[in-house]
Amino acid sequence: MTVELMVKEAKKARELAYTPYSKFKVGAALRSKDGQIFHGCNIENAAYSLCNCAERTALFKAYSEGVRDYDLLVVVADTEGPVSPCGACRQVISELCDPDMEVILTNMNEQIQKLTVKELLPGAFSSKDLQKD
């Protein structure tokens, strides 16, 4: 699936967001190397800290279905410029995706920022940091 279609899929995913509190809808589309698309939206909760972001929804869906290799993540929201993923999502993306995988951040006006996972979170905490020797 092309980048243009992936942006469309992320926008479709965004429509399904459950955001009674923030009213801020986010959509994500994750493409696996074998060509599957996993959609994600943010899902909020009256206990605010339980809100789950769109990016993590898409990644956890794919991972929990046993699909582990991805080559593109698109994230979209109605922001002035390309949407900026939160720190928690940057950390989860760094954990589960290849450091060189492409990430496309965009908005409803199709302003696009392309970067890699390692650019999204330089110096991410990783399994290497858990090794003492």
Nearer to ligand THU, 22 or 33 (CB): 22
Residue 4 annotated among the catalytic residues of the structure: no
Q: Starting at the edge strand that comes first in sequence, how are the strands of the sheet with 70-77 ordered? A: 37-41, 26-32, 70-77, 102-107, 112-116
Nearer to ligand THU, 32 or 52 (CB): 52
Task: By CB under 6 A, name the one of 1, 5, 86, 115 that touches ligand THU.
Answer: 86
In whole angstroms, the minimum distance from the beta carbon of 133 to ligand THU comes to 36
Is 89 an interacting residue with respect to ligand THU (CB under 6 A)?
yes
Q: Which residue has the tokens 């989860």?
A: 92
Which one, of 3, 51, 53, 49, lies nearest residue 28 by Cα?
53
Residue type, 3: V
Determine which one of 9, 44, 55, 102 is catalytic.
55
Which residues between 16 and 45 bind ligand THU (CB under 6 A)? 19, 22, 24, 26, 42, 44
8 Å CB contact between 91 and 56 = no
8 Å CB contact between 106 and 75 = yes
- Reading phi first (left if > 0) and then psi (alpha if -120 to 50, else beta), residue 35 is in left
Is 59 an interacting residue with respect to ligand THU (CB under 6 A)?
no
d(CA 102, CA 2): 13
In whole angstroms, the minimum distance from the beta carbon of 59 to ligand THU comes to 12
Is 108 an interacting residue with respect to ligand THU (CB under 6 A)?
no
Q: What residues act catalytically?
A: 55
Query: Residues in the site for ligand THU, rule: CB under 6 A?
Result: 19, 22, 24, 26, 42, 44, 51, 53-55, 85-86, 89
